[in-house]
Structure 1
Amino acid sequence: MHFHSVEHEKKFIELCERDKMNIKDVERRSLFFIFAGSEMLYKNIEMLYDFEDHTIRLEA
């Protein structure tokens, strides 16, 4: 993966660890890559993603 910055990489790793899902899940890794790369998405992650159910919040 080609991260935009060290901060982007740190946020990506944090989201992956927080989700506790299979690290080989390419779709989820892609989603977290996008979330981590956008300050607005990252700040609003709780509105966008449910870490307990491991699902996107469609109502967002």
Structure 2
Amino acid sequence: MAWQIKFRDVEHEKGFNNFMKKAEVENWDKERTSLFYTLAIFEETRKNINDLYDFKENCIKFKGLTKEWQTGGTAKATKLAFNLFNNFRGEDRESENYSPLEIFSLDTDYRNYMLMAVQIRFS
């Protein structure tokens, strides 16, 4: 990696490291690294990670997008994380909700970290 991962705050970094350790990610698997980086940005997604990822089966949980705790920002981050993980784009009738315009329409602070997740995935 020629660049350094930038974290939003200490909690973002702690959450990311905890997810990586719990999933036993080896060799910085770009798909899981970008997934966990993105899901660790928000406190809500960190607290509810088990609604979004099955650590035993090492797979995402699509139903996590419909949980009551999801907000506009966390839903966008979750959509991005799922898309970076396995190109998940949702149901056909909802595919417009996965466009870059939709996902990156957050305030600037969060957008920068979501763009870092894209960089992690495709570097």
- TM-score where L is the length of structure 1: 0.88
Q: Which residue in 1 is equivalent to 2:46?
A: 42
Q: Which residue in 2 is equivalent to 1:27?
A: 31
- Aligned-residue offset at 1:40: 1.1
Q: Confirm or deny that 1:13 pairs with 2:17.
A: yes
What one-letter code is carried by the residue in structure 1 that aligns with 2:14?
Answer: K
- Aligned-residue offset at 1:21: 2.3
Equivalenced residues, count:
60
**Percent pairwise identity:** 38
- TM-score where L is the length of structure 2: 0.46
CA separation in 2, counterparts of 1:3 and 1:44? 19
Compared CA separation, residues 23 and 16, structure 1 to 2 (3 A): farther
Task: Find the residue that maps to 2:63 and give its secondary structure.
Answer: coil
Q: Which runs of 5+ in 1 are unaligned?
A: none
What one-letter code is carried by the residue in structure 2 that aligns with 1:45?
Answer: I
Tell which structure's C-alpha radius of gyration is larger.
Answer: 2
CA separation in 2, counterparts of 1:16 and 1:23? 11
Structure with bigger helix share is 2
- Aligned-residue offset at 1:59: 2.4
CA separation in 1, counterparts of 2:31 and 2:19? 14
Q: Which runs of 5+ in 2 are unaligned?
A: 65-123
CA separation in 2, counterparts of 1:31 and 1:22? 14
Q: Confirm or deny that 1:54 pairs with 2:28.
A: no
